[in-house]
Amino acid sequence: MTIENITRTNTITINTQALRELLEGTSTQAGTDKSLPVLNSILLLSPALQDGQGKLIAVATDRYRLIEGEVTIEGEGILPATLIRLEDVKKVIAMIKADKSPQTSVTLQKQGDTITISHLSQALVFQALDGTFPPYTHLFPTDSPIPVEGIIFNPTFFADYGKISGKKGGVRVTFYGEKKPIGIGLTGDAVTWRALLMPMR
């Protein structure tokens, strides 16, 4: 048996309230069409340490909206890019929702394609989705905002951002052109967000 054939285990630990905020926020932007399973899921990954700090990143899109959230994890764990079905994400949210303590943590462990999420005396086990999340980082604008006369956007989609913004925040809108995605700035309690909303045509 070669090293490549040995199943590796990857584990991270994250504050319960931070994970809840991260999953609740991204789940509002995931696609609801189960015939498009990659869009009907959330991408989770925890890359190697950046500036000595571990991060958990969550990404979701329904083709009209794109959101990325980032939160600090406890310790130095690494979680490879993993797609989790939206229905499984909602199970995780339901499991941790009643816990209001700011001190508790959740452990995420990936072994092969199996994901185990443990919180207090409870645990959920499910299979990661086999698929590839579309490249997205290049979609976030790097050029300067420009004034526009007006842009039409879906008000229902826009209203969802109010559910994500933290207790201290609002929603900041940045325009990059009449037919270009709208930058959405959100202030989270524990999560650093960036998001895009496509204009209606």
DSSP string, the chain: --GGGSPPEEEEEEEHHHHHHHHHHHHTTS---TTSTTTSEEEEEE-S-BTTB-EEEEEEE-SSEEEEEEEE-BSS--EEEEEEEHHHHHHHHHHHTT---SS-EEEEEEETTEEEEEETTEEEEEEPB-S-PPP-GGGS--S-----S-----HHHHHTHHHHS-TT--EEEE---TTSPEEEEEB-SS-EEEEEEPPP-
In the chain, where are the structural domains located?
7-130+140-197
Per-residue confidence in pLDDT tens, the chain, 201 aa: 344 444 557 999 999 999 999 999 999 999 999 999 999 999 999 987 666 678 999 999 999 999 999 999 987 788 899 999 999 999 999 999 999 999 999 999 999 999 999 999 999 999 999 999 999 999 998 888 888 888 888 888 888 898 897 766 788 889 998 888 999 999 999 999 999 999 877
- CATH superfamily of the 7-130+140-197 domain: DNA Polymerase III, subunit A, domain 2 (3.10.150.10)
Contact criterion met (CB below 8 Å) for 105 and 74 = yes
